[in-house]
Amino acid sequence: MKLRRTRKTRRALTAVAITTGLVLVVVGCGGGDGGDDDSKKNPSSEAPKDGQSGGGGEESQQDDQPQSSDEVLAEVKGEESITLTVKSAIRDEGGFVTVSGTVTNNGSRFFAAANWRGEERELNKNGSSVAGANLVDGKGKKRYLVLRDTSGRCLCTKFTGGVKPGQTSDWYAQFPAPPEGTTEMTFQVGAMPPAPIELSEGE
């Protein structure tokens, strides 16, 4: 009789232990699910994701970046339906000024810039160019011609093939720099009207 009671008691204890273990396992699993949900709902855990997305950071970087400028210093219209635009006139440390811009052919004929190369013999090799351009210092009463090398080639743009109707071409020309403090100049080439410009210092 005692042996049977002992076996029944052991079976009962075993059943209780198994039941208790199962309950603990279920509670543990449930706690893990709840923890994951809490971490997903926690704003602090979402903050790094927002930082990685770079929503605010990219905007601040874009604001700090310099924006491209289409500033025009001067624009004149003249011979053969040509529009000459000056976009920059920069004084460089080397003692010269670089003037640049665009030329647009608004006419119906091919533009060869024949009379833009100047009247000097030395400039005859610079056809279809702005070799004949000059900068005029009205206050100092002095004119500056386009720089050229020992072979007479100008330090300027040559419109190879000319400028076709409806076409816009970039150009540049380099001149000796006027005295420090002189900023107001006039650019002129060929029969185009004078274009008042202001010099800026190079970086």
CATH of the domain at 88: 2.60.40.10
User: CA dihedral defined by 144, 121, 188, 141, rounded to 10 degrees?
Assistant: 30
**Mean pLDDT value across the chain:** 76
Is 107 a domain residue?
A: yes
Residues in the chain: 203
**Total domain count for the chain?**
2
Last residue of a domain, one of 10, 43, 64: 64
Give the pLDDT confidence score for residue 31 in this predicted structure: 47
Q: How far apart (Å, rounded) are the C-alpha atoms in residues 201 and 134?
A: 19
Is pLDDT of 5 > 80? no
Extract the tokens encoding 128.
């279809």
User: From edge to edge, which strands make up the β-sheet containing 142-145?
Assistant: 142-145, 134-137, 184-188, 195-198
Domain with 170 in it: 74-201
Q: How far apart (Å, rounded) are the C-alpha atoms in residues 131 and 126?
A: 6
- Convert the pLDDT of each residue in 161-172 to its tens digit: 899 999 999 999
Last residue of a domain, one of 16, 43, 64: 64
